[in-house]
Structure 1
Amino acid sequence: MAIQHLQRFKIESQLVKPFSPLFFFSSSSSTTTTTSNDDTKTQTLISILTHQRSKSRWNALRSLCPNGIDPIQFSQITLQLKNNPHLALRFFNWTQSNSICHHTLSSYSTIIHLFARARLYKHAYHTIRIAIRTSEYDDEHCRFDSPPLNLFETLVKTYQRCGSSPFVFDLLTKACLESKKLDPSIEIVRMLLSRGISPKVTTLNSLIFRVCKSRGFDAGYAIYREIFRLDRSKCEISKRGSGFKVNPNVHTYNELMLCCYQDALFEKVGEIWNEMECARNAYSYTLMMASLCDEGRVEDAEKLWEEMRNEGIEPDVISYNTMMGGFCRIGDVGRAEEFYREMTSGGIESTASTYDHLVNGYCIIEDVDSAVLVYKDMYRKDFCPVASTLDAMTSLLCDKGRGKEALKLVRNAIGKFGLVPKGNSYEVLIKGLCAEGRVEEAFKVQAEMVGKGFQPNSEIYGAFIDWHVRQGNEELAGALREEMLQTQIQS
């Protein structure tokens, strides 16, 4: 829908220099400039604002405007305050809190431009959000169904008269992205780039990331290539004038690699890595190493680690955790410990992920004592384990006949961190406790499990049945078998 409307959004074809937005319209006048500068009432209001003390100023304004101020007057007054942006802010807030002015896109645009011009970006952004939301219900004979595009058009028309800053369009794009209005964000960026006006690279990066997250990597990658003109020849680019082509930075590539990594597109991570035309940073290397580790190519990741160090790039805790996690997953906990010692000796503090990797590594090689030792250290430092770490510890302890210790570990994790064990953890606990003859404790765990919304399965029934059989309680075992069958039929 936004694209269809923009086909009607006719723009001046005059080429302008980047960051000198004369922008798109042949006339910079707006609908708010219908009153002359010698309008007595308006000038009186301006005089009150600029000369009276703050305590008497607002009462005087209210008495002079018992029926409020129309948007045209507001814009005219505000323009006279452009060199006093904080007074303009107080005036705007007063009209908002006292319902003095029924603001339109034109009046909103005036104050937005003044905020941007004065680098009051927080206030400009907040007002943009208000203008978008308000125009959804009360438009000003707007041409488009999309409120952000209507605001964009109005901001363009009023830009020159307000002496604004190009960053106002970055703020508009950011507001669209935060409001999940993706199509208008894309079209606004396209319109700006088509006239040689570039949003900041950080804004473009945010757009790419949002497209990747909501529509998949392929869609995000297509936008990346479009906005950075990667599919155009040098001849085509040169026709637009010097400075037209915006170059991606290291964060652009990192965002793309992160999206690929999160979607387990490890081959694509490598492709983006090879596309990079700028200096890589520690995060770039970490993403590539993480991709290699997840593919089981830990040796290749270690080579990349050495390359990073040779480039003089210092690894951070995420880099160390990545390598430790890679080695722990293949059972080489000794090598992971070497990275841990190097990290701590370098003054880098551990994180919860550091301990998660080490605990899981010890669980993989079934070194229960080392796993318990590291887990207790983690617990003492108030690092909350992830659910998979709790599951791994529970399984290992129960496999080693230490069900009581596993139960205590789970209880402590629930009490201290509010963790909710997975159904598998409950199953492992119940089976382990039954195997050790702690059936009363197993029944309590089973009741807790049901209270958490997990239903007992055949494995759990089997654990209780086996215990009754060992105790010679064939009647109770038979009753449980019948209950298990009935449960399976009902489900």
Structure 2
Amino acid sequence: MAIFRSISRNPFPSFHYFPKPTSFSSSSSPSALSGDDLVSAAVSTLKHHRSKSRWSHLRSLVTASKGNRLTSSQFSEIALQLRNNPHLALRFFHFTLHHSLSSHSLFSYATVIHILSRSRLKYHALTLIKSAMCAFPEASRSTPVAILEVLIKTYRACDSAPFVFDLLVKACLESKKIDVAIEIYEMLKSKNVLLRTSTCNSLIELVSKSRGCFAGYDLYREIFYPDVDNVGANGPSNKGVSPNANTLNVFMVGFYREGLVDKVEVVWEEFAWVGCVPNMYCYNVLMSAYSDDKRMEDAMRIWEQMENKGLNHDAVAYNTVIGGFCRVGEVGRAEEFYREMVMKGVESTCITFEHLIIGYCRNRDIDSAMMLYKDMCRKKFSPESSTVNVIIRSLCDKNGISAALEFWRVAEKRHDAVLELENYENLIRGLCWEGKMEEALELQAEMVVKGFEPNSEIYGVFIDGYMKLGNETTANKLREEMLIKLASSE
């Protein structure tokens, strides 16, 4: 996709920042070298000397010259003549940096960045941009903007590649410099230089995550459709860079996480308006939004659309509908999709089992839940603490306190699960009801270690337990302790 609107590969005016060096024989005396002669000798050394002697000879050449080091301009002139060998140019840069053989400036950094970019060495170019951002923090304007200005000035002389500006924006984003990245985008836009869609997506995504989905959506409209206030039925018209499915995915996911299903639907409709084809991920996000909102009819409509588009349902899609039906209490429908999932050879995941286990527990079918839990363990899956707590709660509700406590001890060791305060109370209540006061006290001590202080509910359970056993003395002591504790907390 072209990133320039009605401009050539080199969008900036032709300026000659680096004078052409004159020819020079490497046999001349290093002590007499200066200016263009030094540049030519250095280029000859780098291109024609063997690698073992190249660097020592170059060091002697530079240190014996006037000033004992290269100026930023001289370094750039040398590097430009190495542009067809970008790795050598980069080694030359690091060599001069390590041995302090050049007074580097943003211009010399920019020269090497351009050389690396034109050779598609994106990682090295990006790394050097980040180094420049750290090396010149005292720039009169923000350093990334200063780097941009130098990159623009040296762009044509270095015969660079357009995505060098995308790399600068990416460096800003990785450094969380959002405002600077936006400023750079606007400066480039004023020069009719358009960033790649993937770069725009990254910028929009970071804005959405840090400032909210609506801020990201506003930036999306500004970047892709600056002249369109409202997207009409026939879709917007934009002659510049265009959004893709990943662009809209950012907002679908963001609005979905904030529970704004209506906004997810708005973004979904925009796929057709902007001429994007939604992918599997898009369908799954929309279906998840409907399922979480308990709109299973709408979720199944999307399921059918996926089939009509020839998209094979993956584990995420199956887990979505299984979880949705379990959430609305239709565990039977969830089982049907689970069986279909197995028959079609789609690998079930830990989430598949957790959805079904929670569904069975909600339907008070603890036996089926435990069967699935055992099957889950055989497959080496480890449930989340929340699922473990749902099972314990269901066991407690069926007065299976001993079974619940035994299950908890195994789950704690096997899955590193964390017990919720509600289940500490459930287990302690059940133990006290059964008269197992010592076990209840041990669990209460464990509860304190985990950071849960005993409340009036816990005190009341112990008081009732001791009264039931006829131990009024201990019960009265606990009652006094509870009153003192509650009074001190007020």
Tell me the TM-score normalised to structure 1 length.
0.87
Residues 41 and 464 of structure 1: CA distance in aligned 2, closer, same or farther (over 3 Å): same
The alignment-based identity, stated in percent, is 48
- Matches of 1:61 and 1:54 in 2, distance apart? 11
State the partner residue of 1:251.
246
Say whether residues 1:124 and 2:125 are aligned partners.
yes
- Matches of 2:229 and 2:157 in 1, distance apart? 37
State the partner residue of 1:314.
312
Say whether residues 1:55 and 2:42 are aligned partners.
no
- Matches of 1:231 and 1:436 in 2, distance apart? 73
- Contact kept, 8 Å, 1:28 with 1:159, in 2: the verdict is no
Say whether residues 1:155 and 2:156 are aligned partners.
no
Residues 464 and 97 of structure 1: CA distance in aligned 2, closer, same or farther (over 3 Å): farther
- Contact kept, 8 Å, 1:336 with 1:358, in 2: the verdict is yes
Say whether residues 1:45 and 2:46 are aligned partners.
no
- Matches of 1:437 and 1:201 in 2, distance apart? 68
- Matches of 1:326 and 1:52 in 2, distance apart? 70
- Contact kept, 8 Å, 1:19 with 1:166, in 2: the verdict is no
Residues 480 and 233 of structure 1: CA distance in aligned 2, closer, same or farther (over 3 Å): closer
- Contact kept, 8 Å, 2:350 with 2:376, in 1: the verdict is yes
CA-CA distance at 1:250 after TM superposition = 1.2
Deviations 1:92-124 (A, max 9, x none): 333344454453221221111111111111111
- Matches of 1:292 and 1:206 in 2, distance apart? 27
Residues 346 and 88 of structure 1: CA distance in aligned 2, closer, same or farther (over 3 Å): farther
Say whether residues 1:103 and 2:90 are aligned partners.
no
- Matches of 1:171 and 1:190 in 2, distance apart? 15
- Out of 216, 220, 232, which is 1:220 matched to? 216
- Out of 422, 425, 444, which is 1:424 matched to? 422
Alignment of 1:443-454 (within 5 A): 443-454=441-452
CA-CA distance at 1:301 after TM superposition = 0.8
- Out of 299, 310, 324, which is 2:322 matched to? 324
Residues 117 and 445 of structure 1: CA distance in aligned 2, closer, same or farther (over 3 Å): farther
Residues 482 and 16 of structure 1: CA distance in aligned 2, closer, same or farther (over 3 Å): same
Residues 164 and 408 of structure 1: CA distance in aligned 2, closer, same or farther (over 3 Å): farther
- Matches of 2:8 and 2:453 in 1, distance apart? 63
- Out of 362, 370, 381, which is 1:383 matched to? 381
One-letter code aligned to 2:393: S
- Out of 9, 15, 18, which is 1:20 matched to? 9
Q: Secondary structure at the match of 2:452?
A: coil
Residues 164 and 398 of structure 1: CA distance in aligned 2, closer, same or farther (over 3 Å): same
One-letter code aligned to 2:126: Y
- Matches of 1:172 and 1:203 in 2, distance apart? 10
- Out of 369, 391, 394, which is 1:393 matched to? 391
Alignment of 1:196-345 (within 5 A): 196-229=192-225, 231-232=227-228, 244-277=239-272, 278-345=276-343
- Contact kept, 8 Å, 1:228 with 1:245, in 2: the verdict is yes
One-letter code aligned to 1:219: A
CA-CA distance at 1:227 after TM superposition = 0.6
Deviations 1:34-81 (A, max 9, x none): 785561222222222222222222222233334554432322221111
- Matches of 2:418 and 2:72 in 1, distance apart? 55
- Out of 160, 167, 176, which is 2:163 matched to? 167
- Contact kept, 8 Å, 1:18 with 1:244, in 2: the verdict is no
CA-CA distance at 1:327 after TM superposition = 0.6
Deviations 1:177-209 (A, max 9, x none): 111111111122223333332211111111111
- Contact kept, 8 Å, 1:368 with 1:397, in 2: the verdict is yes
State the partner residue of 2:31.
none
Q: Which runs of 5+ in 1 are unaligned?
A: 1-14, 235-241
- Contact kept, 8 Å, 2:204 with 2:219, in 1: the verdict is yes
- Contact kept, 8 Å, 2:76 with 2:111, in 1: the verdict is yes
CA-CA distance at 1:27 after TM superposition = 5.6
Residues 56 and 482 of structure 1: CA distance in aligned 2, closer, same or farther (over 3 Å): farther
Q: Secondary structure at the match of 1:279?
A: coil
- Contact kept, 8 Å, 1:108 with 1:127, in 2: the verdict is yes
- Matches of 1:489 and 1:206 in 2, distance apart? 55
State the partner residue of 1:402.
400
CA-CA distance at 1:446 after TM superposition = 2.4
One-letter code aligned to 1:177: L
- Matches of 2:279 and 2:180 in 1, distance apart? 32
State the partner residue of 2:28.
none
CA-CA distance at 1:148 after TM superposition = 1.4
- Out of 430, 450, 473, which is 1:475 matched to? 473
State the partner residue of 1:3.
none
- Matches of 2:472 and 2:440 in 1, distance apart? 19
Deviations 1:331-354 (A, max 9, x none): 111111221222222222122221
- Matches of 1:122 and 1:315 in 2, distance apart? 36
Say whether residues 1:65 and 2:54 are aligned partners.
no
- Contact kept, 8 Å, 2:396 with 2:430, in 1: the verdict is yes
CA-CA distance at 1:297 after TM superposition = 0.8
Deviates more, 1:455-464 or 1:171-180: 455-464
Q: Secondary structure at the match of 1:161?
A: coil
- Contact kept, 8 Å, 2:173 with 2:181, in 1: the verdict is yes
One-letter code aligned to 1:199: L
Residues 69 and 387 of structure 1: CA distance in aligned 2, closer, same or farther (over 3 Å): farther
Deviations 1:409-467 (A, max 9, x none): 43444434434333334333333333344433333332222222222222222222222
Tell me the TM-score normalised to structure 2 length.
0.87
One-letter code aligned to 1:433: L
- Matches of 1:420 and 1:95 in 2, distance apart? 56
- Matches of 2:154 and 2:394 in 1, distance apart? 68
State the partner residue of 2:462.
464
Q: Which runs of 5+ in 2 are unaligned?
A: 24-35, 231-236
One-letter code aligned to 1:271: V
Q: Secondary structure at the match of 2:157?
A: helix
Deviations 1:290-327 (A, max 9, x none): 11112211122112211221121222211111111111
One-letter code aligned to 1:121: K
State the partner residue of 1:442.
440
Q: Secondary structure at the match of 1:472?
A: coil
- Matches of 1:28 and 1:486 in 2, distance apart? 84
- Contact kept, 8 Å, 1:190 with 1:227, in 2: the verdict is no
State the partner residue of 2:181.
185
One-letter code aligned to 1:20: R
- Matches of 1:318 and 1:16 in 2, distance apart? 40
How many residues are matched? 461
CA-CA distance at 1:171 after TM superposition = 1.3
**Structure of larger gyration radius:** 2
Deviates more, 1:314-323 or 1:58-67: 58-67
- Out of 155, 161, 172, which is 1:176 matched to? 172
Q: Secondary structure at the match of 1:331?
A: coil
- Contact kept, 8 Å, 1:70 with 1:101, in 2: the verdict is yes
Residues 92 and 436 of structure 1: CA distance in aligned 2, closer, same or farther (over 3 Å): farther
- Matches of 1:436 and 1:96 in 2, distance apart? 77
Residues 132 and 475 of structure 1: CA distance in aligned 2, closer, same or farther (over 3 Å): same
Q: Secondary structure at the match of 1:65?
A: helix
CA-CA distance at 1:29 after TM superposition = 4.3
